[in-house]
Amino acid sequence: MGLFRRKVADGYRNSSAVLSFNHDGLEVARVKNRSRHLPLWHFIFFIYLALLIRLVVAADIGTSGYEARLAEMRDGNVLERAAARVMRMDPVSQEIATKLRSGLSFLEGRVLDRDG
């Protein structure tokens, strides 16, 4: 039996009814899904957030400083080695971080009137 047929055969076993009232006083029953899986957008958002953090850190300390910190993490424990493997920079991210760093230095020097 296929996945779709199994879900149809199971019906609303993982669901419950939620009763509420409309603005005019009529009672409305809605089905509330009680499944415990995470939606796909949670994983996509997590990956996007990790990439954004990686770019901001690389732009802040520079790509050479970022690579030096990754080299330190590669010599650490298992968790640090795994993090270093995930956070390594690809050429596109390096280019974006370099452009972002030059933009930040422009903002710091010209717009905020600070010497860099």
Q: Tens of pLDDT along 53-87?
A: 888 888 888 888 889 999 999 999 999 999 888 88
The whole-model pTM stands at: 0.55
Looking at every residue in the chain, the average pLDDT score rounds to: 80
Segments in the chain forming alpha helices (H): 3-10, 40-61, 63-74, 78-86, 91-106
At 21, the pLDDT band (50, 70, 90 cuts) reads: confident
Tell me how far the alpha carbon of residue 99 is from its chain's centroid. Answer: 22
Q: Which two tokens stand for residue 78?
A: 């298992």
Cα 105 from Cα 93, distance rounded (Å) = 18
6 vs 3: CA distance, rounded Å: 5
